[in-house]
Chain A
Amino acid sequence: MSFLKIKNLSVDYPMRKETVYAAKNVNIEVNKGEILGLVGESGSGKSTVGNAIINLIDEPGKVSSGSVILGDLNIHEDRNNIIKYRGKKIGLIFQDPQTSLNPILTIGEQLIETIQTHLNLTKDEAKNKSIDLLKEVGIKDAEIRFNNYPHQFSGGMRQRVVISLALCCEPELLIADEPTTALDVSIQSQILDLIKKLTKERNLAVILITHDMGVIAETANRVAVMKSGQLVEIGVTKEILTKPKKNYTKSLVSSVPPTNKKISRFVIVDKQNKKNQENNIKILNRWDKKEIIKQDLVQIKNLGKSFDDNFFTESSKNSVMAVDDVSFKIKEGESFGLVGESGSGKSTIAKMIVNLFKPSSGDIFFDNICITKINNKSEMMKFRKQIQMIFQDPYSSLNGRLKVRDIISEPIKLHNPVISNIDLDGYIFDLLESVELSQKSADRYPHEFSGGQRQRISIARALATQPRLLVCDEPTSALDVSIQAQILNLLKDLQEQLNLTILFISHDLPVVRQMCDRIGVLKDGKLCEVSNTEELFLKPQHEYTKKLLHLMPKIESIYN
């Protein structure tokens, strides 16, 4: 007899044009003492299911059919049941620890409030209980930290507080919606360990909602795969990940970058037939292709950048060194990876290379010319043309008020003002086809495209000036894994055929392993080590690199 039974659950969102079925006839059972991973891409309905259990569906959505049975009580039958159960029998952990705590109350006040709402305890008893809880979730000096405000905790600590809040009324079911997505790898593994430990000790039933197959592989006992509101497959994690039965699960698993080996391309299950086709990139005919001379295209020497707080504060004391004495070289035609956690300065380096920021110290040489010292505008334009960038967020990197045609034609016209209209159209179409978009896309606006397609438009725009160096700042971290696999394949193809040099910035080690020839590891603005990819993954030298490699969630862990 399972503890939680979800039967035929459907959630509808009646919208202006059509009704969106966020969940359709979902059947899931969860036992006590087990972690069920609910995995799927964005829009698959995994969070909807999590919210539907406690009936927290946003308007205009509603649970249209189905029942949720907890223990032996159908909690959807009576509204009062849910209100009573929410927070008491069912604990919740949300994605963003920044917003799930009230910033104007101390964590102690929040804990006591929650405890007293559900349990009949005096204030002192509640306080003792909260301190015990804080200790249980691994917060040191719990008695002192009890009186602190949320902003006095780091992201990981805050997530621990959120977990303690979820646990404070002895729930039997815990719903964790992307609990580690906003956190760095090193903190992510601590939080996952904590959830695993609590599941065992308290005999909890846990639903872990995530998009990250690595997290699933490391924590979940069973996994349910969802796609566009429907349950695709459910079963023991090992079986699903190693021997997926359904096509969708197969493509999902094959899209996950492996951490233990380098593969030449990702296998896209739906597109396998196309593979044999000779795919020469259209833009190649127009490309002024440079022969690769084995030389250093980019040299970075003692680069430093500090951000002074502002106009009024005394500088130097408060300034943070975002990048501190970093030196490395990128050879022509190679992919160089920069990895690091948030705040390590990797994006700052990228922005200095593309000349969005001026460095505070040090120099950047491109093709043996120091580009940080150029003040002449026309001189600068020559380099602008050769260095282009792809951004992380596909939603903010395209101007929503312009048609795709205008977005792509801007760089072409700027660097080749005499181009005729027919030629310009041909150029735009070739670029669009090179990134696997149809010619019709030219007359649409960015909001008519999905995230992956927008990223392709972004790539087309970057290629329009025929750059030699492409700086990719987390180009796939906002995308789903299957889309990520396609974009990474595309980048690889482009690089091979166009002899591009790529600076690939990411926090995602498996992705970097697939993409890069050499890797530099950054921590707090300092470069820890630079070495060849395979060497770095097999024989890391620096302590920090070892730690990062050890902590990254590995989908392969399931095979052992």
Chain B
Amino acid sequence: MDKIITSWDRIKDSDIYHSFIKSPTAIVSSVILFIIFFCSFFVEFITPYNPFDPSSLSLMEAFTPPSWTEDGLSKFILGTDGQGRDMLSTILYGSRISLIVGFSAIIFSLILGVGLGLTAGYFGGKYEMIVMRLTDVQLTVPSILMALLVDGIARGLISREMHDEMAIYVLIFAIGISEWPQFARVSRAATLVEKNKDYVSASTIIGVSNLVIMFKHILPNILRPVLVIGTIGLALAIIAESTLSFLGVGVPPTTPSLGTLIRLGNDFLFSGEWWITFFPAIFLVILAFSINLLGDWMRDTLNPRLKK
């Protein structure tokens, strides 16, 4: 007992760690995610090609099928697209953009939703009513429609030249704004439970201010359910980004994301160049599926009600 307990010991001793090493799904999905994240963020050092450098492209090599097919070239493992860009490199560059947009959007909606939900739950009264009715209204609008609406308004407000530059921020805002209500609902519900616990009363009696109680005491205690839906929300955000890009209102084709790649490849699908749309699509499925599996595992582990 005299040994100093480090935080690593605490982690090793925790139920979460043990549940993790016992769950093959959790391990496999997090390994896949780690590889995807690593490759996407260090893509410059991994791929020999830069698909956005026009000088390195050769139209002669356009429409090369994957390397294991008859006409394939061993230097393009997954083949090339209509401009002679290496598919694998393009996908990795694209997934970086998808991930950046997904993460930023989910963090944006997390801050907005938890902030509103936490304050609504804590203060109650008319303020709570207004916030919660706002989430109700927002939930009646499908999130893709909401994102399209935001994008449309942004197009009207921002000049054409600026548009491509701003597109990524508009996209983050559009997805973020359509996802916050669920965070607000969950964090409000959790706050209602926490604020009636005695430790909150104890802090009030000591004289701690409302702001400190909310962010130092209640927030860490409501983070579990919020993080669980945040993980699943991340998959949704990445899919939403791809959907918007597929519809042509997302990131511009000069810096393609996974959705843009699928859209571009879609044009060639019927002429037999299936790989141009197939690989980005399958990549997106694996990415979203892994995140969802990890989210499911987290929900099962962090929810004490499901524990036996």
Contacts and interface: CB of A to CB of B under 8 A. Distances in A.
Instruction: Please say whether chains A and B are actual partners in one complex.
Output: yes
Interface of A: 16, 59-60, 351, 354-356, 380-381, 384-385, 387-389, 391-393, 396-402, 410-411, 414-415, 443-444, 458, 461-462, 465
B308 A389 contact: no
Given A351-B201, A396-B199, 7 more contacts: A354-B205, A356-B205, A385-B207, A387-B205, A399-B199, A401-B217, A411-B207
A397 B207 contact: no
B272 interface: no
4 closest residue pairs by CB, A with B = A397-B198, A384-B207, A391-B198, A401-B220
A309 to B, nearest CB: 15
Given A384-B206, A410-B206, A414-B208, A389 B201 contact: yes
Nearest to A415: B207
For chain B, the bracket of interface size reads 10 to 19
B207 A16 contact: no
A448 to B, nearest CB: 9
Interface string B170-199: 000000000000000000000000000111
Given A16-B18, A401-B220, A401-B221, A396 B205 contact: no
A380 B205 contact: no
Chain B binding surface SS class: helix
Contacts of A399: 199, 203, 217, 220-221
Contact of A381 (B197, B201, B207): B207
A391 B206 contact: no
24 contacts: A16-B15, A354-B205, A356-B205, A380-B207, A384-B207, A385-B207, A389-B205, A391-B202, A392-B198, A393-B198, A396-B197, A396-B198, A396-B199, A397-B198, A397-B201, A399-B199, A399-B217, A410-B203, A410-B208, A414-B206, A414-B208, A444-B5, A458-B202, A465-B206
Max chain B C-beta neighbours (<10 A), residue from A384, A401, A443:
A401
Contacts of B202: 389, 391, 397, 458, 461-462
B204 interface: yes
Contacts of A465: 206
Nearest to A471: B205
B308 A59 contact: yes
B226 to A, nearest CB: 14
Contacts of A402: 217
A381 B204 CA distance: 10
B18 A384 contact: no
B308 A384 contact: no
Q: Could you say which of B18, B202, B208, B217 has the most chain A C-beta atoms within 10 Å of its C-beta?
A: B202
Contacts, number: 63
Interface of B: 4-5, 15, 18, 197-199, 201-208, 217, 220-221, 308
A391 B208 CA distance: 17
A464 B3 CA distance: 28
A473 to B, nearest CB: 9
Contact of B205 (A60, A388, A443): A388
A59 B308 CA distance: 8
A236 to B, nearest CB: 41
A416 to B, nearest CB: 12
B159 to A, nearest CB: 48
A388 B198 CA distance: 13
A385 B308 CA distance: 43
Nearest to B129: A311
A104 B142 CA distance: 37
Nearest to B2: A440
A356 B201 contact: yes
Nearest to B15: A16
B221 A384 contact: no
A401 B200 CA distance: 13
A262 B299 CA distance: 53
B2 to A, nearest CB: 8
B223 to A, nearest CB: 9
Given A16-B18, A458-B202, A400 B208 contact: no
Contacts of A354: 205
Nearest to B199: A399
Contact of B199 (A16, A388, A397): A397
Nearest to B18: A16
Contacts of A411: 206-207
B202 to A, nearest CB: 6
A29 B202 CA distance: 48
Contacts of A396: 197-199
A387 B201 CA distance: 13
A414 B205 contact: no
Contacts of B197: 396-397
Contacts of B199: 396-399
Contacts of B308: 59-60
A387 B202 CA distance: 11
